[in-house]
Structure 1
Amino acid sequence: MNKLEAMEVFVQVVDAGGFTRAAENMQRPKATVSTQIQALERALAVKLLHRTTRRLSVTAEGAAYYEHCLRILADVRASEESLSRSRLSPSGRLRVDAPTGLASAILIPAMPDFFRRYPDISLELGCTDRPADLIEEGVDCALRGGVLDDSSLIARRVATMRFVTCAAPEYLAEHGKPEHPTDLLRHRCVNYFSSRTGKIADWDFARGRERIRVSLPGSIAVNDSNAYVNAALAGVGIVKMSTVMAGPMIAQGHFQVLLPEWTTIPMPIHVVYPQNRHLSTKVRVFTEWVAELLRDHPRMRLPKGPAGRSISVPAVSSDLLLADSLG
């Protein structure tokens, strides 16, 4: 017996004041309605209705059961309506973590579009270059760059981030330009160290079939994207920076591109979430929105110089190692 269906039939019979009217309202045979009520009474081991040839009345137990049925059926309908609304317009809290540079330069400026599409979502956006522990910190999903070494996460690749080597004109006027990656060993460079491991990222370069990886001594190392940019703007040294952060500053003349014939391997960007969690509608729509946002975003492309000429970057084999994100 379908208990929920039987409860609905019982409520209909009580509200209609009889089997005949209830059967008409539900467009069912009267015999079917009567049989369902009898089966419900047997299952409950209690008499719910007094039946005579002239009238039907509710027993004391039936009256109490009727009130319970009303509440239960109302809760079921409310739950179904809520799920239906969620499919059309997801709602509730969504906690997302993203690297500082990506969040500041791309995600936050696009938030008005996100909220126009999903006005019922309350977004908590954690902006940090430190990889969050999604389970311990209650994060629904996160954007991460580079190699994913956490096998407990499910990942969807949503973009590719590219990098350029650059420096402020003030630094170059004083120290000159490097002509080859090994020349960087004689320059001041701003290093970036991982918030998770403390390791300073090496700089890798490729030109045709040539591959060079250098460990630069540097005069300063930071672990925050904004600090990295500000160090470069202050003329502290040469940086290898994502196009997300560097593109507008190159176009405005604040940075000059160095070693344009050399490139570094692009970095994949993923949306990740714990595999032991159900992919909620909120996470799904956010992932789709991010993928759409980043797919053709101008800041994800290689920037143009002050004269508007695109910077040429050769193809790089995907078997090169990836370094940590540099913002």
Structure 2
Amino acid sequence: MVQDFLNDVPLLVEVARQKSFSKAAEALGIGVSTLSRRIKLLEKRMGVLLFYRDTRNVELTDNGAYLLDRCGFVLEEVQKAYDSVVLNMQKPSGLVRVCMFLDLYDGLLKKVLLDFAARWPDISLELTFQDHPVDMRTAPFDVAFVTGNAIAPALVTRKLLTIEPFLYASPLLLERYPMPREPDDLHRMPCIVLQRFGGRWPMHNGSRQVTVDVVPRYSFSSVEMCRDFLLAGHGVALLRKERARPDEKAGRLVRLLPDWSGGFVHDVNLVMGSRQLPMRVRLFVDHVLAQFAP
């Protein structure tokens, strides 16, 4: 009953506005007979007369005017809500909620986000650092930067790049420790580890694969802190080649065991909970993807 009434409310409003069944039917895109029949059924269900009808005029009864007054307000609010949602999806402004590991910001995404803020000043960013993966199906974020391959199938994922770390040390450290020749030599050197990877370093050189169980001298949740201690000569660390390249060229870092990679090969993905994105989120996603395009 209530659902039928809600379906008929727009008809009631349009007839009252046009004061004509034929004009109202044209505006609604339905036949005059269909409109008249549905209004009569509405009156029958409610047990009241809503319109006075004659050959020239259609006027609201007192009950019809009362109902229109209440329902007109409801329709206005529904229209406002509809327009608000549509505008929210279409306008290039508002808030984009982003989640990532801190070290992704330091090592990969700082410039990307700063460039986005400069290009779209009407779009706000809310950036949350998490030290563990989030479930985008329930988390209060629009997008998340996720490392690894275990992502729920229902989510929308865009791969940005693949990270493969290598071993590095500062010349300051190599003044005190001999250059390692095999992965097992790392047991004799202080090591700096990223906490989420732990102290088991899988190493491979194409034909061999070994796992080195290091005893961390230093353990951090931030890649940037690992790099700071690495540059200061406090230990050996795994670092992404692109991140280490400037320091390696400047002589501040030396790559160890150059035939071996660190083994922690993993993808960095941009993850969304839906393909239906507001304009502000779509602009953010497109900006990020453009920065990492091949």
Query: TM-score, normalised to structure 2's length?
Result: 0.79
* Structure 1 gaps, min length 5: 297-327
Residues 95 and 126, structure 2, Cα contact 8 Å, conserved in 1: yes
Q: CA deviation at 1:207?
A: 1.4
2:204 is matched with which residue: 203, 206, 227? 206
* Structure 2 gaps, min length 5: none
- In structure 2, distance between residues paired with 1:123 and 1:51: 58
- In structure 2, distance between residues paired with 1:67 and 1:151: 49
The DSSP-based 3-state class of the residue aligned with 1:81 is: helix
The DSSP-based 3-state class of the residue aligned with 1:185 is: helix
Aligned counterpart, 2:239: 241
Q: Which runs of 4+ in 1 moved over 6 A?
A: 116-120, 133-137, 150-153
- In structure 2, distance between residues paired with 1:156 and 1:134: 11
Change (3 A) 1:51 1:155: closer
Aligned counterpart, 2:107: 105
Q: CA deviation at 1:98?
A: 0.9
Aligned counterpart, 1:269: 268
- Deviates further, 170-179 or 55-64: 170-179
Q: CA deviation at 1:2?
A: 6.2
Q: What percentage of residue pairs aligned between the two structures are identical?
A: 26
Aligned counterpart, 1:304: none
- In structure 2, distance between residues paired with 1:24 and 1:270: 52
Would you say how many aligned residue pairs link Structure 1 and Structure 2? 288
- In structure 2, distance between residues paired with 1:235 and 1:2: 76
- In structure 2, distance between residues paired with 1:31 and 1:133: 53
Change (3 A) 1:4 1:137: closer
Correspondence 1:81-120 to 2 at 5 A: 81-89=83-91, 93-115=95-117
2:213 is matched with which residue: 206, 212, 215? 215
Aligned counterpart, 2:180: 178
- In structure 1, distance between residues paired with 2:152 and 2:21: 60
Residues 188 and 238, structure 1, Cα contact 8 Å, conserved in 2: yes
- In structure 1, distance between residues paired with 2:80 and 2:114: 30
- In structure 1, distance between residues paired with 2:66 and 2:249: 75
Aligned counterpart, 1:65: 67
- In structure 1, distance between residues paired with 2:243 and 2:102: 10
Which amino acid in 2 is paired with 1:220? Y
Residues 179 and 256, structure 2, Cα contact 8 Å, conserved in 1: yes
Residues 94 and 122, structure 1, Cα contact 8 Å, conserved in 2: yes
1:127 is matched with which residue: 97, 111, 129? 129
Residues 238 and 262, structure 2, Cα contact 8 Å, conserved in 1: no
Which amino acid in 2 is paired with 1:59? T
C-alpha offsets along residues 102-157 of structure 1, whole Å, 9 cap, x if unaligned?
A: 11233231125545787665432112434457688744553332363x87984736
C-alpha offsets along residues 284-304 of structure 1, whole Å, 9 cap, x if unaligned?
A: 7355654444344xxxxxxxx
- In structure 1, distance between residues paired with 2:162 and 2:244: 15
- In structure 2, distance between residues paired with 1:43 and 1:118: 54
